[in-house]
Chain A
Amino acid sequence: MLSTDSPSSSFPSCGRAEALRDYAFDELPADERLAMEQHLAACGDCVLELDRLRLTTAALHTLPDREIPQRFAFVSDRVFEPSPLRRFWNSGTLLGQNLLGFASACVLAAALVVSAWHLSAVSRPAEGRTVVQSASAAAASPEQINAAVAKAVAQVRVQIAEGDAQMIRAAIQTSERKRDAEYRDQMVAIGENFMVLQKRLNMTYARLSSDEVAGSGAGQ
C-alpha cells in the first residue's frame, strides 16, 4: 500500500484519496476496486485526481530504465565497517582508556610547564609593553588606521609596480640583445653571401672573357 502525506492528500474532498491512489497503481484489492469504480462514477473530484495520477504514472513510465551503479554500496556493507584500530579505540577497553588518560595527562603537564615558564620570563617587562601597546592602540583612531593601511597598501603597490617594471625592462633588454645578435648574424651572412656571389661572378666573367679570346683567336 502506498501512503503519502503530501498537501494534495486532502483532495478529493470525499476523503478517499488513499484508496484512489491504490486504485491508480493497481494495488487495491478486487472487492474494494469494484467499490471504487462505483464511487468514481459519482465523484468528480476523484475522477479529476485519478486523471492526474494516471498522467503522472504515464510520465514516469516514459523515463528510461537505469542500471544500478556497480559501485553503489549500502551502509551495511563491510567497506563501511570501522578499521580494527578504530574498533579497538572505540571499544572502551582498559588499554584504550588508559592511553587516552595518559595522553590527556601529558598535554596537561606540558601546558602547565609552558605557562609557568612564560610567566616567569615576561613577568615585569610585559607590563610595560602592555601599557605601551594599549596606549598606542587607544591613541590610534580608525582614520589613522585606515591611513596607515592605505599607506602600506600603496607602498606594496609601488614595490610590485617597480618589480614588474624591472622585469619588463630586463625582458626587453634580453629581447633587444637577441634581436641585435640575430640582426648581426644576418648582416654577416648577407656580407658573406655577397662575397661568394662576387667571386662566382668573377669566375663567370673570367670564363666568358677567355671564351671570347679563344673565339676571336679561332676566328682569326
Chain B
Amino acid sequence: MKLLLAITAATLCFAATESRVSRATILAVEKSINEKFAAYSAEPYSQLGYARGTYLEGYGTLFTIELDLINTGPLNLSPFKPTISAEEKATTHERKVKKLVELKESMRVLMMNASGTLEGLPPNERISMETILFNYSWEETRGLPHRVFMSAERQKLLDAKAARAGQPELTAIIEEQER
C-alpha cells in the first residue's frame, strides 16, 4: 500500500513538472517554419536565423524567426559599390512591400498547420508567431514593419484547418500586429 502511494505521488510530481507541449512537437513546428522560409522561389527570403519556439504555461506557444524579405546583401554599400542609386532603393522597397504580403499569408498558413502539430496545447491557449524583419539602414522602410506578430487561439485555428479556410477566413481569426 505504501509502495502504491509512493508511485502515485511520484507520478503526480512528474506530471506536474512535464510540459503540456512536448519539445518534439515544438521542434516539428520550428522545422516546418524553417523549411517554408528556406524554400526556393523566384524571390527567396534571406533567412538570418532559425525558427525558435517555446511554450509559456497558461499562454501558449510562441515562435520567432528573423529574416530579410529579399536578399538585399548584394545591393549594400561596399568599397566596390560606393553608392546606392535612388532607383535601386525604390525597386528594393517595391519588392519588399510585395514580399510582405506573401510573408503574412505564409505565417497564417504555418500557424494553422501548427495547431494540428501542437497536440498537447490546450485549445483555449494561443499559438503565436513573430517574424523579425531586417532592413539595411539605407533602405526606404515606409510601410515596412520591423516586426510582424500574429496570434490566435488554437481551437479557432483547428476549426479553420478542419474547414480548409482560406486567407480571408484566417485573416479574420488571427490577430495581427505590426511594429
Interface residues of A (CB under 8 A from B): 182, 185-186, 188-190, 192-193, 196, 199-200, 202-203, 206-207
Contacts A186-B82, A189-B136, A196-B73 given; does A206 touch B66 at CB 8 Å? no
The reply to whether A186 and B134 contact each other, CB–CB distance below 8 Å, is no
A182→B82 contact, CB < 8 A: yes
Interface size on B, residues (CB 8 A): 16
Q: Are B48 and A188 in contact (CB under 8 A)?
A: no
Residue B64 CB within 8 A of the other chain? no
B76 touches A192 (CB 8 A): yes
B83 closest partner in A (C-beta)? A182
CB pair B138–A200 under 8 Å, yes or no, is no
- Verify if B49 is at the interface (C-beta below 8 Å from A): yes
Q: Please give 12 more A-B residue pairs, beta carbons under 8 A apart, in addition to A203-B47, A207-B50.
A: A182-B82, A185-B77, A185-B138, A186-B82, A188-B137, A189-B137, A192-B136, A193-B73, A196-B48, A196-B73, A199-B48, A206-B50
9 contacts between A and B (CB under 8 A): A186-B79, A188-B137, A189-B136, A192-B137, A193-B76, A193-B78, A199-B48, A199-B66, A206-B50
Q: Is the CB–CB distance between A189 and B50 below 8 Å?
A: no
Complex contacts, B50 vs chain A, CB 8 Å: 203, 206-207
A204 CB → nearest B CB, Å: 11
Q: Which residues of B contact A189 (CB under 8 A)?
A: 76-78, 136-138
Give B76's nearest chain A residue, CB to CB: A189
Q: Is the CB of A203 within 8 A of B48?
A: yes
Contact A203-B49, Cβ < 8 Å, known A185-B138, A189-B136, A196-B134 = yes
A-chain residues with CB within 8 Å of residue B79 when the two chains form the complex: 186
Give the distance to chain B from A206, nearest Cβ to Cβ, in Å: 6
Residues 59 to 98 of chain B near chain A (Cβ within 8 Å):
66, 68, 73, 76-79, 82
A200 touching B77 by the CB < 8 A rule?
no
* List of A residues within 8 angstroms of B78 by Cβ: 189-190, 193
* Distance of A196 Cα from B74 Cα, bound (Å): 12
- Complex Cα–Cα for A185 and B73 (A): 15
A192–B72 alpha-carbon span in the complex (Å) = 11
Within the assembled complex, what's the spacing in Å between the Cα atoms of A30 and B169?
A: 124
A118–B68 alpha-carbon span in the complex (Å): 86
Within the assembled complex, what's the spacing in Å between the Cα atoms of A18 and B138?
95
In the assembled complex, the Cα of A206 lies from the Cα of B27 at a distance in Å of: 14
CB closest residue in chain B, given A191: B137
B49, B77, B138: which contacts A199 (Cβ < 8 A)? B49
Complex interface: chain B residues within 8 A of A200 (CB): 48
Determine the chain A residues whose CB is within 8 A of the CB of B48 once the complex forms: 196, 199-200, 203
**Residues of chain B with a CB closer than 8 A to A188's CB:** 137
CA distance A202 to B66 in the complex (A): 12
Nearest Cβ on chain B to A161's Cβ, whole angstroms = 35
Chain A residues near B47 (CB-CB < 8 A): 203
Residues of B within 8 A of A199 (CB): 48-49, 66
